[in-house]
C-alpha cells in the first residue's frame, strides 16, 4: 500500500505554468530575432548548444513545410481542446497537470508565431547530434510528452499494485 499522498496541481497552477511557458518562449524568440542574424551561428554552450536563427514554416523535422496557415489553425484547435481539458477538473494529478500546462504553453507559443509572423522562430541547435533547430515552445511540448508518459506509467503501476 502506498502511504504517500498523491501530489496534485490546481487548475490555476496549470494555467500559470502555461502562461510562464508562453512568456519564456516569446521573450526568448524576441531576443533571438533582435540579436541574431538569419543563418548566423553562435556558440552558446561549447560542445552542446549553438544559437542559429531560422524561420520554420513547417512543423518538427520540417514536416508540412510552407503550411503555416494549416499549422496555425491546428495550434488554435489544440489550444482550445487542451484549455477545455484543463477546465474540466479543478485538480489534476501532478504529472497530468504538468503535461497539460507545458502542452498548452508550447502550443500557444508556436501558434502566436504562426499567426503573427507566418512562421515559427527557431534558434536552439544541439551540437553533438543531428537534430532540428528548436525553441522554448518545442521544449515545453516535449516536456509535456514526457509528463504524459510518466503519468501513464504511474497510473498503470498504481493500478497493478492496487
Q: Which residues are catalytic?
A: 122, 138
φ/ψ of 41, rounded to 5, equals -115, 130
- Residue 97: C-alpha distances to residues 52, 90, 142, 144, 154 (Å): 32, 10, 15, 9, 14
Between helix 11-35 and helix 136-161 the angle, nearest 10°, is 150
Residue with cell 498523491: 6
Contacts of 115 (CB under 8 A, 6+ apart): 72, 75, 76
Amino acid at each position: 500500500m502506498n502511504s504517500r499522498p498523491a501530489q496534485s496541481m490546481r487548475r490555476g497552477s496549470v494555467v500559470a505554468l502555461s502562461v510562464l511557458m508562453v512568456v519564456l518562449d516569446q521573450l526568448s524568440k524576441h531576443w533571438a530575432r533582435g540579436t541574431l542574424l538569419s543563418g548566423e551561428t553562435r556558440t552558446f554552450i561549447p560542445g552542446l548548444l549553438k544559437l542559429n536563427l531560422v524561420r520554420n514554416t513547417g512543423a518538427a523535422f520540417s514536416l508540412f513545410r510552407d503550411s503555416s496557415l494549416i499549422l496555425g489553425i491546428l495550434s488554435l484547435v489544440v489550444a482550445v481542446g487542451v484549455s477545455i481539458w484543463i477546465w474540466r477538473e479543478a485538480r489534476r494529478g501532478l504529472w497530468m497537470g504538468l503535461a497539460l500546462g507545458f502542452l498548452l504553453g508550447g502550443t500557444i507559443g508556436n501558434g502566436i508565431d504562426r499567426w503573427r509572423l507566418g512562421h515559427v522562430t527557431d534558434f536552439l541547435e544541439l551540437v553533438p547530434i543531428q537534430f532540428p533547430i528548436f525553441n522554448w515552445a518545442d521544449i515545453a511540448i516535449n516536456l509535456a510528452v514526457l509528463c504524459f508518459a510518466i503519468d501513464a506509467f504511474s497510473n498503470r503501476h498504481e493500478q497493478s499494485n492496487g
